[in-house]
Chains A and B, each alone.
Chain A
């Protein structure tokens, strides 16, 4: 008899002694199938701990936002004492709607731009044989190793018209979309390369025989068949752009009419000073900024998981 068997036996007797007590018995029977009640208990404790630690900061943001002005923050606020007007107050302090729209527009346009360009590149790396394939791919992936700070000074000079006279992208959408694209394109190219590679050659050949051009075969056969891969790359790019901080802050002056995304809006709330803007308003603004990505996570969690793991682990 092995030690393992003996522990199993112990659990069984425990289960029998608890006969008649419904939930306890069910727990014990489960413990037989997943041997080691101790491990089961540890697992539940760990799960609750992680749920608490990941979700508490969001809950804190909420109770802070709805705390009555000048009143103390309550861990369990009474329903009738909640100050929901704070969410409207955010819009009175800064043009928050405009910041949100800027963020969403920038993220959508960048995602579309990145998907088109990296579809072409992913097709080339995934399905074509040509000299220089491996080195080119490595050079493209190398971009993501550099910190954004290494691009800052020249890009700022370029966008303020100090490199090519007349090119003045600072304070426009272009000064954000271009750096975002360069920053996040390597990951998309990589994800799409792995997906496009898996489409059997026969399908592409069949389309070619039917009379489609090479480009037609790419966009009518390969891309639709790799829809999950395209969606994965799209979701990850969208989240990355929406969450970006470095260029979002430094490539505009923080004003909503100059395409500043929510980074600009929230920093403006924070730096107005707490006599102008209360902590409650800052918390309310933060909650609203989270809503779009929170929805995306709930809807597309499988895509996020598969994209992150395939993008990172196969490199």
Chain B
């Protein structure tokens, strides 16, 4: 420090002493103690903002909804979860958890079935399209960087903008896809969409699926691309010398070697798709497409805290089941 900053220097030395003492103290800890000390900030944040809320949600799910001034009612144990999962509470919730009737309308009107339909269809289509995108990006061609930017761009935009795009694109007479009753557009004439698709559960769910595919196929593509690029190129040369056609090379080298990566990518996408909320909220609203996360929020807004917590936990449990199915299949696949 220069002499012109003497007062500052004084403050600094006064401050430096406790700091250097703390550093010296830290220096004398064992490796394990030092590890736990450095982990403290992360663990404190995660405990307060993640672990405590999870346990608290679990506790809340054991209490009845309160219709009075109190936040929660009496202790009811697992009754919330049982009644929600069995469909008995359907009438009290903003939207049914299980379909009341097993018709198309019923399927698209209930939280569990809408979420599962959305997850299965969007992840399946994203896997196929993502694989194709990865095969395109795996080629060497001029402008490869540019194409990659174009493919990543939808992945990187805010969910609310993604929602706005599909909300606007399917407004009657605004996007080119939907017309009015007296001026129907192509999709209306084909009977694929009604003229008010965002207000019809079935049409709105399809639009939400398309929106999700548009945004997140890139994630799938990048993961599969990394898998493709880790394949030893020498294998292809050997196969070529042995007379394998391009299709055979793909079928017997590329596919089996890249399959574990595809499964991991699908696992990540599935976990993410099961929590769909923002896209639905912006495109069609939670009353039209009631996904599981939507149902948690609408139940919470109705001040039914016990039910909201119970649905949140059932959602987490369903994701856990799906994850373990993937992991078991994955473990079997790699043996």
Contact = CB atoms under 8 A, between A and B. Distances in A.
B268 interface: yes
Contacts of A181: 45, 49
A46 B136 contact: yes
A120 B42 contact: yes
A296 interface: yes
Interface string B288-321: 0000110011001000010011011101100110
Q: Which of A36, A124, A150, A243 has the most CB of B within 10 A?
A: A150
Interface string B211-228: 000100011001101110
Contact of B300 (A116, A156, A249, A305): A156
B95 to A, nearest CB: 14
Main secondary structure of the interface of B (DSSP, over half): helix
B71 A157 contact: yes
Contacts of A57: 154, 165-166, 169, 214
A182 to B, nearest CB: 4
A92 interface: no
A77 B262 CA distance: 42
Given A149-B312, A313-B223, A304 B160 contact: no
Contacts of B41: 116-117, 120-121
A153 B310 CA distance: 11
Interface in B1-20: none
A61 B154 CA distance: 13
Given A128-B35, A313-B264, A293 B60 contact: no
Given A130-B36, A151-B54, A286 B49 contact: no
Given A149-B296, A266-B161, A290-B161, A54 B150 contact: yes
B50 interface: yes
Nearest to A189: B42
Nearest to B214: A57
B275 A148 contact: yes
A270 B164 contact: yes
The A interface is mostly helix, strand or loop, or mixed, namely helix
B293 A149 contact: yes
Interface string A17-52: 000000000000000000110010001001100110
Given A147-B293, A178-B45, A214 B34 contact: yes
Contacts of A50: 132-133, 136, 147, 150-151
A312 B53 contact: no
Interface residues of B, number: 97
Interface stretch (A83-91, A138-146, A199-207, A221-229): A138-146
B287 interface: no
Given A157-B71, A267-B282, A312-B223, A124 B316 contact: no
Given A43-B136, A270-B282, A64 B145 contact: no
Contacts of A298: 149
Contacts of A124: 35, 38-39
**Which range contains the number of A residues in contact with the other chain?**
35 or more
B323 interface: yes
Interface in B28-58: 31-32, 34-36, 38-39, 41-42, 45-46, 48-54, 56-57
A239 B156 contact: yes
Given A150-B316, A213-B27, A270-B164, A39 B246 contact: yes
Interface string B236-248: 0000100111100
B26 A147 contact: no
Contact of B160 (A121, A147, A262): A262
A73 B174 CA distance: 7
Contacts of B160: 245, 262-263, 266-267, 289
Contacts of A263: 158-160, 278
A82 interface: no
B149 A131 contact: no
Contacts of A145: 271, 316, 319-320, 323
A129 B35 CA distance: 8
Nearest to B296: A149
B38 A120 contact: yes
B157 interface: yes
A292 to B, nearest CB: 10
B167 interface: yes
Given A153-B300, A304-B152, A3 B42 contact: no
Interface of B: 23, 26-27, 31-32, 34-36, 38-39, 41-42, 45-46, 48-54, 56-57, 60, 71, 132-133, 135-136, 139, 141, 145, 147-154, 156-161, 164-169, 171, 174-176, 214, 218-219, 222-223, 225-227, 240, 243-246, 261, 264-265, 268, 271, 274-275, 277-279, 281-282, 292-293, 296-297, 300, 305, 308-309, 311-313, 315-316, 319-320, 323
26 contacts: A4-B240, A35-B246, A39-B246, A47-B136, A54-B150, A57-B154, A60-B168, A64-B174, A121-B41, A123-B38, A124-B38, A128-B32, A133-B35, A140-B46, A143-B51, A147-B312, A149-B311, A150-B316, A152-B297, A153-B308, A154-B57, A239-B156, A286-B164, A309-B226, A312-B268, A313-B227
Interface of A: 2-4, 35-36, 39, 43, 46-47, 50-51, 53-55, 57-58, 60-61, 64, 73, 75, 116-118, 120-121, 123-124, 128-131, 133, 136, 140, 143, 145-158, 162, 178-179, 181-182, 185, 189, 213-215, 239, 242-246, 249-250, 262-263, 266-267, 270, 279, 282-283, 285-286, 289-290, 293-294, 296-298, 301, 304-305, 308-309, 312-313, 315
Given A55-B150, A152-B312, 5 more contacts: A47-B141, A178-B48, A185-B45, A286-B164, A312-B265
9 closest A-B pairs by beta carbon, nearest first, are: A245-B278, A2-B243, A147-B275, A182-B49, A154-B56, A309-B226, A130-B32, A154-B53, A149-B296
